[in-house]
Chains A and B, each alone.
Chain A
Amino acid sequence: MSRHLRWNAIALLLTTVVAALGARSAENPSTAANVQPAARGMSPGEYLAHVGDCVACHSKHGGVPFAGGFGLPTPFGTLYSPNITPDKATGIGSWTATEFYQMLHTGRSRNGTLLYPAMPFPAYTKVTRADSDEIFQYLKSLKPVRQRNRENELRFPYNNRSLLFGWRALYFTEGTFVPRPELSAELNRGAYLVEGLGHCASCHSPINALGGSGDDSAFAGGLIPMQNWYAPSLTSNIESGLGGWSTPDIASLLKGGASNRGAVYGPMAEVTHNSLQYLAPGDAHAMALYLQSLIQLRPVAAQLVDTSPGSAKVITLGQKVYSGRCASCHRSDGKGMPPAYPPLAGNPSIQMEVSVNPLRMVLNGGYPPQTSDNARPYGMPPFAQVLSDEEVAAVVTFIRESWGNHGSLVTPREANAMRLAPLLD
């Protein structure tokens, strides 16, 4: 099941070019920077709904956008997203703007029900009332769809919502984003988008056994439950490398899906496709700037060390596979031909301690999403069908240890485990 929208529907719903959000009040963090705001033919609310990526979860494959019914598999069971079209009986047609804001802000539905944190209210709580109202107005403008919400299928004891009181006490702090006086207006705008609507920390933080992530670990990277993709740390320069990237490169990655340093893949390709490609250039830049600043704000003092390098035999096999299969695009020096073929030398997503991402790239290949900034993407073929587990493990080990990269050995068993990972969630 994928969370990406059907194209026909998206074509109806969205215009493709991002331009500018209307100017709004100055004390509001939504406009704290010189945002060149939103989008040609796009209302402020539609733009903000894109930034929040509401459609990804509130639409099911082949279904009407925003009508819900998407089944999100979690370690605790399957959650089904509700209908947020303005149908009075089954959607949010009888809600008020205040009720909508209260839900975003407090994580409680209007009847007082506690929301499961699959709804990223720990991030959405930071959204301003003004922006919430814009999104609500946009949702109210959609065509109502009569589609009853599907009951969640959660295992005991997770089906007991009162457990959420405990979860909230541990992991949820209610509160609108407050601009930090020590940051520039642009950084505050970036922070507002990254921490609020963008809900980046939902994936880019470690999720513990209770499905929560503490504030001290926000943006520290994490394995995405059920999907077998690893969302790299945004605070570790080693994992994300954002400190070493230029701001335009990060902005290109977010909005265009490709950059001189790397391309989006896996679940992040979907995020760019559904959400980030619609960013106003000023907002993409502000988010990039803030993401870069996370490195300085929360320094992680760690050095990459080869704890278990591959044996000479493994490296020889890996090099052989690389020369035959990879070097024609990524080149023998690992520098690639960016942005078409990303560099592997110095590429942080290859050197992360968790090796699932490079393994899955080799097995599954991938095309970054087609966006207005990257209208004819280059792509990588899958190799699952032509390489053995030993060859996959060897070539990933070789890449992780060549050209100054520092990653440890990957085993054929780890490579094999990724063959069964789901391709689309």
Chain B
Amino acid sequence: MIKLLFSLLTLCTTAQAAETAVAPDTIEARAQGCATCHGPKGEGTANLNFPRIAGKPAGYLFNQMKNFRDGDRSYPPMNYLLAYMHDDYLTEFAQFFAAQSVDMKSSALAPTTIDAAAESLVKTGDPTRGVPACVLCHGKRLTGIEPGIPGLIGLDSRYIAAQLVSWRVGTRRANSPDCMRDIASRLTEAQIRQVAAWLSTQRLVGPPSPANAGSWRTPLPCGSQP
């Protein structure tokens, strides 16, 4: 039934397009360059190597796009798409995706795993290696905080692990002080695997949106979070 409605809707828009042949003058239409990997509204796709971007803090999304554009975060398809955009337009994209609601239930999550070591790393950190708990910055509910710290729920373990490794090898950089570079460098490879696997199986508690700016004091000076 939904399929039928969708087809009808598509037919209607096609018929309309045949008359007007003008692209919708919206930021959503302009953002469709992102759709095949991140979903039409940034909700993610079946390919979990590409993260959802809907509902992430606008400041975080802006920082990532800026870093891709300037080469501080290296992923050639993204570096290429954003090469010739200015900050004002990136901000507009960031605000669009940040404003989209995200349905975590639709995320294809692996079954919850029980890994006491990983859970302890997330909730209390590893003082012996100077690693703070993830929750101190990303929040107890792990949904992030405005404007610059992203949520860690609803992401694939391979994506999370790849980001931590990218920080270590320098292909993902952030504004100085780049606290995630320091933290990722202190993790062992086993810890990266564990924490990525554990985070990827966590279910959301409460609304998916990031906490308001200033909801708690983050313990580290971090260039991404003024």
**Contact (A367, B81) CB under 8 Å given A340-B29, A382-B37, A386-B36:** yes
Check B85–A370 contact: CB distance below 8 A. yes
Check A383–B36 contact: CB distance below 8 A. yes
| B contact residues vs A (CB 8 Å cutoff) | 14, 17-18, 21-23, 27, 29-30, 32-37, 47, 50, 69-71, 76-77, 79-87, 89, 92
Check A368–B33 contact: CB distance below 8 A. no
Check A368–B37 contact: CB distance below 8 A. no
Check B84–A270 contact: CB distance below 8 A. yes
Q: How far is the CB of B186 from chain A (nearest CB, A)?
A: 27
Residues of A157-211 whose CB lies within 8 A of B: none
| Whole-angstrom CA separation of A325 from B35 in the bound complex | 11
Check B70–A7 contact: CB distance below 8 A. yes
Check A423–B23 contact: CB distance below 8 A. no
List 9 additional A-B contacts (Cβ < 8 Å) besides A368-B84, A378-B30: A7-B69, A7-B87, A331-B17, A366-B80, A370-B84, A376-B89, A381-B37, A382-B36, A385-B77
Interface size class of A (residues with CB under 8 A): 35 or more
Check B34–A424 contact: CB distance below 8 A. no
Using Cβ atoms and an 8 Å threshold, which residues of chain A touch B23? 329, 337, 340-341, 378
**Contact (A380, B71) CB under 8 Å given A7-B86, A423-B80:** no
Check if A332 is an interface residue, CB within 8 A of chain B: yes
Check A335–B84 contact: CB distance below 8 A. no
| Whole-angstrom CA separation of A370 from B93 in the bound complex | 13
**Contact (A385, B81) CB under 8 Å given A7-B86, A61-B71, A337-B17:** no
| Whole-angstrom CA separation of A341 from B76 in the bound complex | 23
8 closest residue pairs by CB, A with B: A379-B33, A369-B84, A340-B23, A381-B36, A423-B80, A337-B23, A423-B76, A273-B84
Check B84–A382 contact: CB distance below 8 A. no
Instruction: Please pick, from A370, A378, A423, the residue contacting B29 in the complex, using a CB distance under 8 A.
Output: A378
Q: How far is the CB of A162 from chain B (nearest CB, A)?
A: 38
Check A424–B80 contact: CB distance below 8 A. yes
| A contact residues vs B (CB 8 Å cutoff) | 2, 4, 6-7, 61-62, 269-270, 273, 325, 329, 331-333, 335-338, 340-341, 364-370, 375-386, 422-424
Using Cβ atoms and an 8 Å threshold, which residues of chain B touch A338? 21
By beta carbon, the residue of chain A nearest B47 is A385
Using Cβ atoms and an 8 Å threshold, which residues of chain A touch B14? 331-332
Using Cβ atoms and an 8 Å threshold, which residues of chain B touch A337? 17, 21-23
| Whole-angstrom CA separation of A338 from B23 in the bound complex | 8
**Contact (A424, B36) CB under 8 Å given A7-B86, A376-B92:** no
Using Cβ atoms and an 8 Å threshold, which residues of chain A touch B32? 329, 378-379, 381
Q: How far is the CB of A260 from chain B (nearest CB, A)?
A: 11
Check B37–A367 contact: CB distance below 8 A. no
Q: How far is the CB of B47 from chain A (nearest CB, A)?
A: 7
Check B29–A424 contact: CB distance below 8 A. no
**Contact (A381, B80) CB under 8 Å given A335-B21, A341-B23, A370-B85:** no
Instruction: Please pick, from B22, B79, B87, B92, the residue contacting A424 in the complex, using a CB distance under 8 A.
Output: B79
Q: Which of B21, B82, B89 has the most CB of A within 10 A?
A: B21
Q: How far is the CB of B4 from chain A (nearest CB, A)?
A: 18
